Homo-oligomer: A and B are copies of this chain.
Amino acid sequence: MNLSSPLLLATETVTDETYAKAVITALLLTAGMIFVLSTLLGELCSRLNLPTVLGDLTTGILLGGSLLGVFVLTDGSEGINTTLLRVIGWLTNAPPETVVNAYRFQMRDFFSNSASIGLLSLLFVTGIESDLKELIKVGSQAATVALTGVLLPLMGGTIALVYGFHVPIIPAIFAGAALTATSIGITAKVLQEMGKLQSKEGQIILGAAILDDILGIVILALALSLIETGSIELTAIIVLVVKAAAFILLAFILNRYFCPLFSSRIESFNNPAALMLFALAFLNLLALVAIGLGLEALLGAFAAGLVLGGTRQKERLLQLIQPFVFVYTTVFFVTIGASVNLDVLNPLDPKNWSGLVIAAGLIAIAITGKIAAGFTVFGNGAINGNGAINRLAVGTGMIPRGEVGLVFAGLGASTGALSDSLDAAIIIMVVITTVVAPLLLRWVFPSEPETSSSGAAKPI
């Protein structure tokens, strides 16, 4: 650096520095607001016995372009909160255009990349927590419920959208696929509070939900591939299904044979960062293999989780990934909320009516599809000596769509596959199913005093 030309210095170095400062300021300010608001709203949800993910979603809707304009993901500078831009300019002494460029970089580039990291972290953790051994125990009843609970809403949703609402076939399949997932978190919590987690119904719900995760993520990967190729040739779909099945099978095999090797190798490291970094490198590797096979990176992340869930370091790994989930998955769900175009939800505007009717239709299919799946449970559950199985309770427990449903909505919006109104309809469906399921479940599955599981004698 040559100080003999202070003017050159002022235009060159200072501007770069000012831009860098505006970039970090935009990040600190927007991320800080996201963290505070999502924690407070998540806490509110938690006290209302709702999943905290709804708090993240609401944070995104509040901060997004439709309302406060703090977290504006679309191109252009309209809709950005001018006070926010002025604060960044005031803190950094940067000129307005530098501020807008720095803000745009954080929103469009950095946060979208961070949201991808959030999605991969979420699916990695989902994979780690999907205990394959437990799954095999729960067996065929859960498998029946899971399969019908995936197929009925998928087919019902797609057919209704194509023939009832004249939605093109690919977005219709994508929206139908969004109806397949089951979010187990909320149901598990309600069942636990009711003391029914160990009941036959509870066990079937849990097993079916784990299977639903696997099926849902495979279907998501397939649906995204459909969007990318833009065709729905039957042979192409069959090839994809075979590849995805082979990929998940590979994960099952690695879970069995690779985990002991990984566990013992990793224990020989002094470096405390080794477990974290190797696990992430393994995630990256399987995600790259998935991409190379024409599948999705998220399927690789999920498979990596399925594999490493079998290691002795499973619990430590979950601890290490947890902070990433706290931060990045929050960013991911906030991003989904921020992408909601609230205008399409205004019921006073006649051009929104068809979208709102679609949302109502999706909700009806989402609820009836899972309840119908509950009635496919065979036998009467007398194994446990608890009398007939409450099939209605099994179906009701599968209703909440939660995170995985939102993943569909988020990726549907970011790939441009879904129209604004169809995207909003999916999000409404996810929110409604997630909120009503606990209420319905308490109603159809009344707590008996001292209900006992595992065959212990009842007190009257």
Contacts and interface: CB of A to CB of B under 8 A. Distances in A.
A323 B326 contact: no
Contacts of A323: 276, 320-324
Given A43-B270, A297-B24, A323-B276, A417 B13 contact: yes
A231 to B, nearest CB: 8
A305 B119 CA distance: 29
A278 B14 contact: no
Nearest to A417: B1
Q: Which of A20, A229, A281, A292 has the most CB of B within 10 A?
A: A281
Interface string A387-424: 00000000000000000000000000011111100000
B168 A29 contact: no
Chain A interface bracket (under 10, 10 to 19, 20 to 34, 35 or more)? 35 or more
Interface stretch (A197-205, A237-245, A283-291, A429-437): A283-291
Nearest to A292: B91
B273 A92 contact: no
Which of A43, A170, A277 has the most chain B CB within a 10 Å cutoff?
A277
Copies in the complex: 2
Given A43-B269, A271-B39, A3 B170 contact: yes
A36 B278 contact: yes
B6 A326 contact: no
Given A278-B35, A327-B280, A416-B16, A28 B271 contact: no
A427 B215 CA distance: 51
A288 B91 contact: yes
B17 A271 contact: no
A280 B331 CA distance: 13
Contact of A113 (B23, B47, B276): B23
Nearest to A18: B228
A314 interface: no
Contacts of A321: 323
Given A10-B230, A13-B416, A116-B24, A168 B3 contact: yes
A373 B16 CA distance: 38
A9 interface: yes
A113 B105 CA distance: 10
Contact of A28 (B12, B32, B277, B284): B284
A83 interface: no
A42 interface: yes
Closest 9 CB pairs of A and B: A32-B284, A273-B326, A35-B277, A35-B281, A28-B284, A3-B168, A46-B270, A39-B277, A91-B292
Interface of A: 1-3, 6, 9-10, 12-14, 16-18, 20-21, 23-25, 27-29, 31-32, 35-36, 38-39, 42-43, 46-47, 52, 55, 90-92, 105, 109-110, 113, 116, 168-171, 227-231, 269-274, 276-278, 280-281, 284-285, 287-288, 291-292, 297, 319-324, 326-327, 330, 414-419
Given A20-B415, A105-B109, A319-B319, 12 more contacts: A3-B230, A13-B415, A14-B230, A23-B113, A24-B291, A28-B288, A28-B291, A31-B280, A36-B277, A43-B270, A43-B274, A110-B110
